Amino acid sequence: MKFRDLTIIFVCIIFYIFEISPVMGQAGIRAQGRDVNTPGGPNQQSQGQDPNLIKDINHAQEMRKFIIKISRFTRKLNPNFIVIVKDGFGLLEKPNFNDTTTASPAYTYLKSIDGLLISGLNFRPPVPGRDEIKTDNNIKQYLIRLSKLAKKRGISIWVKYYAPNSQIAKDSVTLNNVNNFVTFTAKFDGNIFDRIPDFPVRPINENPHNVDGIKGAKNFLYLTDTSRYEKAQDFMYSMSNTNFDAIVTDVFHKGRAPFNKNIVRGLGFKKVGAKRLVLAQMNIGAADSSSYYWKPGWRQGQPVYINEPTPGNPDKYYVQYWYKAWQDLITSTPKSYVYGIFKQGFDGVVISGVNSYQFFEGSE
């Protein structure tokens, strides 16, 4: 080949490179519908996200790691701090590497939690077009199997049921007593738990003893909406007239002002004067625009970990919970959500929103 021909080829290559480079620079890479390498994209370090997590995220494992992180942080603050996970039963097992049709217990995750709270193990609220309130038997057996797996490893199992009448409430207690699960029944539909149930009239397995840990709780009250009580003190006085072994409530009265230490301390005593547990519910899988951490200008995509609204609630958004910025808001720092729960004197936390990992897997 002549020198003149080589020169022509070299010039063409240089021209090609300089012509195509701007196009490649503008193209970007997309992940979950957004440009990875553009400002605000998932690979941008300004949001504290490790770009290595973007590709092939194991959403279930990322949720396990998040909960483990919360547990380790709170146990450093108080070794007796209780961590209960609401639902998220798919996290209890991991698919086996060589055979994904089988699974083994997620041991590290199981060691990080103290309890599981199941919704509707045997009965659940009716859905539109279907009056049946008995839980599908396949789902029921799946939940019981995993509950027993967890219980065998020292984890307490709490169950909250929909019970529209006293007979179903009694049936729920009977079914749970067989497995030594702790029961709460409520007549309310949906996710509104704003009052003490009419039945049973007294707490299930009521007892006069002090309850210093989750193992001592024979019953619990799940009341996460205190809006029916005008003042925080009214809520405290109402609870002081009950003998529940544990109370699960929100951190904020009416979703606005946090319960102060005196209120939390007052909630911690039964009518008989014995000590009980006071637990705060905390959502780690969704961000609510009414929450204290929500800032002006936040919306879907801003900050980048805010995803689309949850079904039926346009003010609540799924979050990409594996982002460091979101996790720092929830745990690991003195300014975090769970640190505030600890400082207010709560005995532990009930972690909700865990099933959001299924949304990102596309299985919800």
| β-pairing verdict for 252-253 and 257-258 | antiparallel
- Of 251, 254, 227, 229, which Cα lies nearest the Cα of 240? 229
**Each residue of 311-355: pLDDT tens digit?**
989 999 999 999 999 999 999 999 999 999 999 999 999 999 999
Q: What is the DSSP letter of 136?
A: P
- Averaged over 65-75, what is the pLDDT? 99
Convert the pLDDT of each residue in 167-188 to its tens digit: 888 888 888 888 999 999 887 6
End-to-end CA distance of the chain: 64
Measured at the CA of 255, the angle between CA 250 and CA 256, to 5 degrees, comes to: 125
* Domain count across the chain: 1
pLDDT, tens digit, 9 for 90 and up, residues 128-178: 666 667 888 898 999 999 999 999 999 999 998 878 788 888 888 888 888
State the chain's mean pLDDT as an integer: 85
Q: Examine residue 71 and state whether it is found in any structural domain, yes or no.
A: yes
Q: What is the pLDDT of residue 77?
A: 98
The reply to whether 20 falls in a domain is no
Which among 31, 22, 48, 41 is positioned nearest to 330, based on CA atoms? 48
Contact yes or no for 181/147 (Cβ under 8 A): yes
Q: Region 45-70: what's the mean pLDDT?
A: 74
For residue 323, what is the DSSP state? Answer: S
Residue closest to 277 by CA, chosen among 356, 352, 203: 203
The answer to whether position 13 is within a domain reads no
**Which range of residues forms the domain containing residue 85?**
50-361
246-249 vs 252-253, strand pairing mode: unpaired
User: Helical H runs in 135-273?
Assistant: 137-152, 166-179, 232-239, 261-267
Give the range among 44-58, 202-216, 291-305 with minimum mean pLDDT.
44-58
pLDDT of residue 32: 36
Average pLDDT over every residue of 22-27: 33
**Is residue 27 in some structural domain?**
no
Q: At 262, is the pLDDT very low, low, confident or very high (cuts 50, 70, 90)?
A: very high
In-domain check, residue 191 = yes
78 within a domain of the structure (yes/no): yes
Q: Which two tokens stand for residue 144?
A: 């019981």
CATH code of 323's domain: 3.20.20
**Rounded (5°) CA angle 228-229-235:** 130
Half-sphere exposure of 328 (CA within 13 A, CB side): 7
Separation of alpha carbons 284 and 115, rounded Å:
17
Let me know if residue 328 belongs to a domain.
Answer: yes
Q: Within a domain: residue 57?
A: yes
Spatial separation of the C-alpha atoms in residues 326 and 305, rounded to whole Å: 7
